[in-house]
């Protein structure tokens, strides 16, 4: 019988790393779980244990990270724990809003193992933040190479509102923290267009007015920061330069509502916030104008073709007309009524679409036009164009039934089935654009709204 060796897990590679360390760096969950159970952590250096902890957080192995903290509680208060907090701060979608699963999710997880795994991991990430942030000294804890205030600014930059929520509840005074340019967490959120963090300011109304008066070392207030062009990673969350311009305008208008009136005309390098916005977004405005004109042009060509076809079809009725009375021969057929109504709908909607896209082409394309006017016209134009296509296809299908039903009963059915193809293609190919336009035009007003009050103990000192 071979005796099990306890030294195997401590064999090191050429880079002086144990198997557990290597498995953690590669994100091998099952291997990490097994090696953790057989590796004596006490024989590893403090730096190694911290690196393993950070690696498990990097690869979303929060359950194993908590087991490491249970086995080695010294890591919770180690100077380098901010390295682990940094990883959590950069994961805006990893942390849940509570430290425990709801009752029904716990039941589902017990009945169907792993069905709520994602939700469970979010609660474990929440617990991890709470444990790692214990006994932190926000204004003095600068002994590690990555100090605690910088972790907070990372959370604001990446839009990790839940991370900040946990920390603000534990240490209310951190809302006063400013970076080396005198910018608060909310200034960083505006600069990086993180609405989830920015909306937290509505939940701390008692200090909002004071924080908003912060001016950085370049004499720029929070409205100046809203005037800068957003980072490309945040700009590209909406498609099309025109909708990107609209999102930038929404941010600027929202910041404009909450700053003191005197800040509207405050100058930095000779520019007011409005002047800075115009200067920074000039290229985006031009790109938005080109994108909008190109889209309107292409759609108007299609609408014009549809109008021509359905207008001609109205005077060339299927089945012909009576030579004596001039009335259509198939007038009393239900399919003739379907044809006429569909043709009329296609004609009126395509004509409306032409007029709408023409109004876009003749627009002045000022900054404010991108806020509501142009996106509203575009979504209305695309909607009427879709209706006209559907009406044209319905009129064609009705004609097939009128002409061929008596002789070839199966042909009209096949034609109608094929007629649905262009409609489905139109929806599939333009669905994302449609959704983006509707979301930006009609749902953007909900972008800057506070959630329920999540700050339970704001004992803030003035």
Please write the tens of the pLDDT for every residue from 311-363. 888 777 655 555 555 555 555 567 777 888 898 999 999 999 999 999 999 99
Looking at the structure, tell me whether residues 196 and 271 fall in a common domain.
Answer: yes
C-alpha closest to that of 152 among 436, 126, 165, 279: 165
Q: Within its chain, how far is the Cα of 208 from the centroid?
A: 25
Q: What is the pLDDT of residue 411?
A: 66
Looking at the structure, tell me whether residues 297 and 429 fall in a common domain.
Answer: yes
Q: What is the pLDDT of residue 148?
A: 82
Q: How many domains does the chain have?
A: 3
Looking at the structure, tell me whether residues 275 and 300 fall in a common domain.
Answer: no
pLDDT < 70 positions in the chain: 1-6, 102-116, 137-146, 205-206, 317-333, 404-413, 416, 450-462
With respect to residue 160, please indicate whether it lies within any of the assigned structural domains. no
Q: What is the pLDDT of residue 33?
A: 94
Looking at the structure, tell me whether residues 138 and 233 fall in a common domain.
Answer: no
Q: Is 406 exposed, middle or buried (0-12, 13-18, 19+ CB in 10 A)?
A: exposed
With respect to residue 373, please indicate whether it lies within any of the assigned structural domains. yes
- What distance in Å separates the CA atoms of residue 203 and residue 223, rounded to the nearest whole number? 20
- Structure tokens belonging to residue 61: 């192995």
Q: Within its chain, how far is the Cα of 417 from the centroid?
A: 37
Q: Please identify, among 255, 280, 305, the residue that sits at the C-terminal boundary of a domain.
A: 280
With respect to residue 353, please indicate whether it lies within any of the assigned structural domains. yes
* CB neighbourhood size of 430 (10 A): 15
Looking at the structure, tell me whether residues 273 and 294 fall in a common domain.
Answer: no
Q: How far is CA 107 from CA 120, 125, 163, in A?
A: 12, 20, 27
Domain range for 420 is 289-446
Q: Please identify, among 280, 297, 316, the residue that sits at the C-terminal boundary of a domain.
A: 280
Looking at the structure, tell me whether residues 15 and 134 fall in a common domain.
Answer: yes
Q: Within its chain, how far is the Cα of 88 from the centroid?
A: 19
Vertex 55, ends 49 and 56: CA angle to 5°? 95
With respect to residue 363, please indicate whether it lies within any of the assigned structural domains. yes
Q: What is the pLDDT of residue 145?
A: 44
With respect to residue 149, please indicate whether it lies within any of the assigned structural domains. no
Looking at the structure, tell me whether residues 305 and 427 fall in a common domain.
Answer: yes
Looking at the structure, tell me whether residues 298 and 380 fall in a common domain.
Answer: yes
Looking at the structure, tell me whether residues 442 and 298 fall in a common domain.
Answer: yes
With respect to residue 452, please indicate whether it lies within any of the assigned structural domains. no
Looking at the structure, tell me whether residues 60 and 29 fall in a common domain.
Answer: yes
Q: What is the pLDDT of residue 200?
A: 87
Rg (CA), the chain: 31
- Structure tokens belonging to residue 334: 């239900």
- What distance in Å separates the CA atoms of residue 377 and residue 380, rounded to the nearest whole number? 5
With respect to residue 167, please indicate whether it lies within any of the assigned structural domains. no
The pTM for the full model equals 0.83
- What distance in Å separates the CA atoms of residue 169 and residue 52, rounded to the nearest whole number? 28
- Structure tokens belonging to residue 193: 């267009």
Looking at the structure, tell me whether residues 397 and 261 fall in a common domain.
Answer: no
Looking at the structure, tell me whether residues 311 and 441 fall in a common domain.
Answer: yes
Q: Please identify, among 257, 280, 303, the residue that sits at the C-terminal boundary of a domain.
A: 280
With respect to residue 2, please indicate whether it lies within any of the assigned structural domains. no
């Amino acid at each position: 019988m071979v005796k099990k060796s306890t030294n195997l897990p401590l064999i090191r590679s050429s880079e002086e790393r144990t198997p557990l360390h290597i498995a953690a760096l590669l994100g091998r969950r099952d291997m990490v779980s097994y090696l953790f159970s057989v590796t004596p952590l006490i024989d590893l250096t403090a730096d190694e244990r911290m690196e393993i902890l950070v690696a498990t957080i990097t690869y979303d192995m929060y359950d194993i990270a908590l087991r490491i903290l249970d086995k080695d509680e010294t890591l919770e208060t180690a100077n380098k724990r901010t390295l682990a907090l940094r990883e959590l701060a950069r994961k805006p979608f990893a942390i849940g809003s509570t430290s425990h699963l709801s009752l029904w999710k716990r039941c589902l997880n017990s009945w169907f193992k792993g069905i709520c795994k994602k939700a469970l991991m979010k609660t474990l990430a929440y617990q991890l933040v709470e444990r790692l942030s214990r006994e932190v000294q926000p204004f003095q804890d600068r002994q590690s190479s990555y100090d605690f205030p910088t972790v907070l600014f990372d959370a604001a930059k990446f839009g990790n509102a839940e991370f900040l929520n946990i920390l603000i509840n534990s240490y209310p005074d951190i809302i006063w923290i400013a970076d080396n340019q005198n910018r608060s967490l909310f200034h960083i959120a505006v600069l990086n267009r993180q609405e989830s963090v920015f909306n937290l300011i509505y939940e701390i109304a008692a200090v909002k007015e004071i924080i908003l008066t912060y001016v950085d070392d370049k004499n720029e207030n929070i409205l100046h920061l809203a005037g800068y062009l957003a980072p490309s990673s945040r700009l590209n969350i909406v498609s099309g330069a025109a909708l990107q311009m609209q999102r930038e305008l929404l941010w600027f208008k929202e910041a404009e509502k909450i700053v003191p009136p005197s800040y509207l005309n405050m100058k930095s390098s000779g520019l007011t916030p409005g002047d800075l916005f115009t200067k920074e977004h000039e290229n985006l405005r031009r790109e938005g104008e080109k994108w909008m004109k190109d889209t309107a042009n292409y759609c108007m060509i299609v609408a014009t073709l549809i109008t021509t076809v359905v207008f001609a079809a109205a005077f060339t009725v299927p089945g012909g007309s009576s030579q004596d009375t001039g009335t259509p021969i198939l007038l009393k057929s239900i399919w003739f009524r379907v044809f006429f109504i569909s043709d009329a709908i296609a004609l009126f909607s395509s004509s409306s679409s032409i007029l709408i896209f023409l109004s876009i082409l003749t627009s002045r394309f000022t900054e404010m036009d991108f806020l509501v006017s142009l996106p509203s016209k575009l979504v209305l134009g695309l909607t009427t164009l879709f209706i006209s296509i559907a009406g044209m296809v319905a009129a064609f299908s009705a004609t097939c039934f009128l002409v061929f039903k008596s002789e070839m009963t199966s042909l009209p059915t096949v034609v109608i089935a094929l007629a649905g193809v262009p409609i489905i293609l139109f929806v599939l190919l333009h669905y994302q654009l449609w959704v983006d336009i509707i979301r930006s035009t009609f749902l953007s007003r909900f972008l800057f709204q506070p959630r329920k009050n999540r700050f339970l103990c704001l004992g803030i000192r003035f």
